[in-house]
Structure 1
């Protein structure tokens, strides 16, 4: 897998679709801070998005979509002077998967949220701006439109397995939105995400993620990327914020932490799977990165699991 696939898989990315929203006339809906990353797409009409803490509202046109990557309340509205109705009230009255507000049907929106497992804030969400807005006219946005159309069809027609299909399509949409955001605004992201927007650094990241247990040297990574050792070191550090081998160490520890959360494997097996020759070598690196030993980390994760039965 490449770096984007790797991180989304590591974070156990899940999508959760909500009822569609149909609105018309003068209307406004106020949403509480979402649990996870909220997304909406305008399938028909237009409206305005206001996110608490954002400097300016965002005008959304037909075909636009957005992600909210922070836990902030927000409002969708037709005009700035309309008093908003709580979203809980609007969606509690949903029928056949559709909630309605205002008078008329000029606006149709589909949406939901993405949830993630441990480490999402540091590995992904902190790397993104609070609001990722993808206008409909964006170059290469056809794949997002295709996914949104398919989601809308699944939600409206409700064939067998529609929920599963729609939620998987939402993950497809998320990947494409992130890709397009990187292509449009590479300087609006940081860390490994910024590295994906740099072709040289992206080649090195790709190999590190494909073979994390390999004893890489900077010279070998530079050869993969087709640049000199010094050029890769400088470019990687400037883009990602870490030296190549420092990044590799941190990624190995993330992989080790996932295996420890899953349970079952011995520390020796975990160490070997991520490129360390011994438990002690893994322990030193693990404590340096996450501030605790692998054994203590496993115990903490076990205590945090809900009791069965």
Structure 2
């Protein structure tokens, strides 16, 4: 798989609600912080403002725009930035309801969206690999995304048998298509994983690491995959990704190990060998440095939301420099 597909697969996003929002008049809705959640929305008609906590500038959304919020931060949607916000819980029904919510009579804005729970781990490191805001403006190359959005609008409005399941699959398509379009623009503002993927040379090296994480990669070998000299590659990789190629490779190996420890039954010795480590002790040292606990501790807690795994995810979030 390619790096984007692999990271999304490790996150294991599951759409637990898709709904439409039809608002009219002057309005503002405040959405609370939600851990381990990705939100994806598309504006069908009208327009509004998006304000995300921690981001300095509000974003103007118009018909045809799509946006993804992987950070789980609180945010606000509003027809007017001066309008007093209403808490979303007072407007939207329980999370399993779906359908279309009408606010203030509707007619001014219509958007569709989905919320994805993240069941993969460690969520802290994985979510930080995605940008805090992905804003896709209406453009000609959005044909596939617009098709998914329009189909979701129809399913939510019509309420036909099987519509809930169809909406879930369409939501996953919207998410991947939006992230793919964001990558195709190739101009992430900050160093990080997305900035690295947007660069064809660096992406080629990252793809090689993802396709064969157990291989004994060297800086020279990765530079060859990128079609660059060793020194130029090392400098460019750090500038784009925010860390060295070997640091990225180690971090990716630990993410793969964490997923297998949580969801599989392989012993640590098998996992370490399959990821290119000659000794279990070397693997365990690297795992503890990245994850904040030993592989066996993580594995024991991995199938629950125990304190060891929660602490590991907090430490991983602090350690990571992939803030793209």
Q: How far did 1:17 drift?
A: 2.8
1:172 paired with 2:169, answer no
Unaligned runs of 5+ in 1: none
Q: How far did 1:231 drift?
A: 2.3
Q: Which residue does the alignment assign to 2:108?
A: 106
Give matches, 1:221-300, under 5 Å.
221-300=222-301
Q: Which residue does the alignment assign to 2:19?
A: 19
Q: How far did 1:197 drift?
A: 1.0
2-side partners of 1:288 and 1:80: how far apart? Answer: 44
Residues 40, 68 of structure 2: 8 Å contact kept: yes
Q: How far did 1:96 drift?
A: 7.8
Q: Which residue does the alignment assign to 2:123?
A: 120
- Secondary structure of 1:46's match? strand
- Number of aligned positions between the proteins: 304
- Secondary structure of 1:45's match? strand
2-side partners of 1:18 and 1:302: how far apart? Answer: 27
1-side partners of 2:224 and 2:129: how far apart? Answer: 31
Two-structure CA RMSD over aligned residues (Å) = 2.6
Residues 218, 244 of structure 1: 8 Å contact kept: yes
For residues 40-98 of structure 1, the C-alpha deviation after alignment (integer angstroms, 9 at most, x for no partner) is 22111222223344433322211112222334333323234544333222223999812
Deviates more, 1:90-99 or 1:194-203: 90-99
Give matches, 1:94-243, under 5 Å.
97-116=99-118, 117-125=120-128, 127-129=130-132, 131-137=133-139, 140-184=141-185, 186-243=187-244
1-side partners of 2:159 and 2:290: how far apart? Answer: 46
CA 1:23–1:302: 2 relative to 1, 3 Å: closer
1-side partners of 2:297 and 2:34: how far apart? Answer: 32
Deviates more, 1:238-247 or 1:256-265: 238-247
2-side partners of 1:31 and 1:284: how far apart? Answer: 40
Q: Provide TM-score, normalisation by structure 1.
A: 0.87
1-side partners of 2:286 and 2:246: how far apart? Answer: 12
Deviates more, 1:273-282 or 1:80-89: 80-89
Deviates more, 1:21-30 or 1:93-102: 93-102
1-side partners of 2:255 and 2:94: how far apart? Answer: 43
Deviates more, 1:3-12 or 1:112-121: 112-121
Residues 19, 91 of structure 1: 8 Å contact kept: no
Residues 93, 99 of structure 1: 8 Å contact kept: no
Higher RCO structure, 1 or 2 (CA under 8 Å, sep 6+): 2
1-side partners of 2:261 and 2:280: how far apart? Answer: 13
2-side partners of 1:303 and 1:83: how far apart? Answer: 40
2-side partners of 1:53 and 1:285: how far apart? Answer: 32
Q: Provide TM-score, normalisation by structure 2.
A: 0.83
CA 1:96–1:267: 2 relative to 1, 3 Å: closer
2-side partners of 1:109 and 1:24: how far apart? Answer: 12
CA 1:289–1:33: 2 relative to 1, 3 Å: closer
- Secondary structure of 2:134's match? strand
1-side partners of 2:151 and 2:112: how far apart? Answer: 11
CA 1:90–1:246: 2 relative to 1, 3 Å: closer
Unaligned runs of 5+ in 2: 307-324
